[in-house]
Structure 1
Amino acid sequence: MGKQDTKLKLLQAFTELVVENGYQAATTIKIAQLAGVNESSLFRLFGNKKGLLLALIAQCVHDIDNLQNEQLEQLDLSECLFQVAQQYQTFMRTHEALVMVGLKESLQLEEVKEATNKLAIHFKKVVETILIQRIQTGEITKKINPKIQADNFNWLNFGYFLTQHNAHNSKLSEPKRTDFLREHIHEYLRGIL
């Protein structure tokens, strides 16, 4: 097994254990066992458990920086916000371990707090920019505050993500998730048009 394969296996095992049991319960022994490698490989490649966390954070920050939103301007407002909501949910599920560590332990782990804040700021700016552009074109009333409405949109999406995380065995299927997000967008738009 190559070095990259071992790193990937360790990161996947770490992610799985953090999602299931939390950061503190994800011991280096359990991580190595789940990855099918020797614990010394974890120490050699990452130094310690925090090294795994930092690698996970680096991956998340890289993914945030690479999110693309240029094509959204051509979509009607409902479809535009739906695409942002879909992207948000997909991103959160992909980085679920880091999000959950951020919720539970960001006070002790400054690096996690910074990464989760960067994610929140990114999606807020995306939605805020969309709302400002659509106010300028007259699609949305000028009476709304784009900053507050961007926060509202993201809080609704974050709440949905948390609900799905907490309902492990009863996660909604894709069509139901799509239905939920479309209804959420419809109701959201009723308040800002």
Structure 2
Amino acid sequence: MDKTRQKIIDATMHLVMEKGYASMTTKEIAEYAHVNESTLFRKFGSKKEIVLSAMQENWHPHLSSDDFYPITGDLYRDLLHFSSVYMQKVTPQFVKVSIGLRSPELYQDTVEGIMKVPQVFKDILMQYFEEMQKLDKVIQQDIESLAISFLSINFGFVFFKGSFGERLTTLSSDEYIQNSIKVFVKGIQKV
């Protein structure tokens, strides 16, 4: 990707996080990227095209089921690994951009891309919890409920960090992951 194109994408993503899609203008994007507004239109055509290009090219945590392997069968260790992977890839900045892209003008074009990350995490969690139930390591519980609960534990923390920084909690992601997983495992582990 050429440098000018990347500067425009970076400026756009910064402004999406700061102001949201609807509130930013192409003039502001051009100013922030230190390019002429005509360059922006020549490279992309529209504000919407910048965002859609960014989502395809370089704004995405690229979470895949392969990221969660190998699995050990130890609930605490596996879920600790799952959370660590999730929080390394799904950063507070990603959450801010995702929120900024939920504008009605963009939603139909961005929802599928935004949904990929939680969907991958939910799918791997459902597979994992199903396997752990078969191995009689987890209480019999609705698999989807377990997956959504665990996903929410992780997303909630990242969302709070993205929204409030250190103002709500000074817990590091490592501290939070370790403590919340202990509680979660204690609630679902078969004894």
TM-score, length-scaled by structure 1: 0.84
Q: Please tell me whether the aligned partners of residues 13 and 31 of structure 1 are also in contact (alpha carbons under 8 angstroms).
A: yes
How far the C-alpha of 1:110 sits from its partner, in A, is: 0.5
Q: Please tell me whether the aligned partners of residues 57 and 98 of structure 1 are also in contact (alpha carbons under 8 angstroms).
A: no
Structure 2 match to 1:168: 165
The structure with more helix, counted as a fraction of residues? 1
The 5-angstrom pairing of residues 82-161 of structure 1 reads 82-93=80-91, 95-102=94-101, 104-105=102-103, 109-141=107-139, 143-161=140-158
Q: Please tell me whether the aligned partners of residues 23 and 101 of structure 1 are also in contact (alpha carbons under 8 angstroms).
A: yes
Q: Write the distance in 1 (CA, Å) between the matches of 2:95 and 2:63.
A: 17
Q: State the secondary structure of the residue aligned to 1:64.
A: coil
Q: Write the distance in 2 (CA, Å) between the matches of 1:67 and 1:33.
A: 39
Q: Please tell me whether the aligned partners of residues 69 and 126 of structure 1 are also in contact (alpha carbons under 8 angstroms).
A: no
How far the C-alpha of 1:177 sits from its partner, in A, is: 1.5
Q: Write the distance in 2 (CA, Å) between the matches of 1:168 and 1:176.
A: 11
Deviations 1:151-183 (A, max 9, x none): 11111212111111111364867x721001111
Ranges of 4+ aligned residues in structure 1 off by more than 6 Å: none
TM-score, length-scaled by structure 2: 0.85
Q: Please tell me whether the aligned partners of residues 44 and 50 of structure 2 are also in contact (alpha carbons under 8 angstroms).
A: yes
| CA shift in 2, pair 1:129/1:67, >3 Å | closer
The 5-angstrom pairing of residues 1-193 of structure 1 reads 4-59=2-57, 63-64=61-62, 66=64, 68-69=66-67, 71-74=69-72, 76-93=74-91, 95-102=94-101, 104-105=102-103, 109-141=107-139, 143-168=140-165, 170=167, 176-193=172-189
Give the paired residue count.
Answer: 188
| CA shift in 2, pair 1:172/1:86, >3 Å | farther
Q: Write the distance in 2 (CA, Å) between the matches of 1:144 and 1:125.
A: 16
Q: Write the distance in 2 (CA, Å) between the matches of 1:61 and 1:9.
A: 13
How far the C-alpha of 1:14 sits from its partner, in A, is: 0.9
Structure 1 spans left out of the alignment, 5+ residues: none
Structure 2 spans left out of the alignment, 5+ residues: none
Deviations 1:14-69 (A, max 9, x none): 11111111111221111111111121221111111100111122146875365633
Structure scoring higher RCO (CA < 8 A, sep ≥ 6) equals: 2
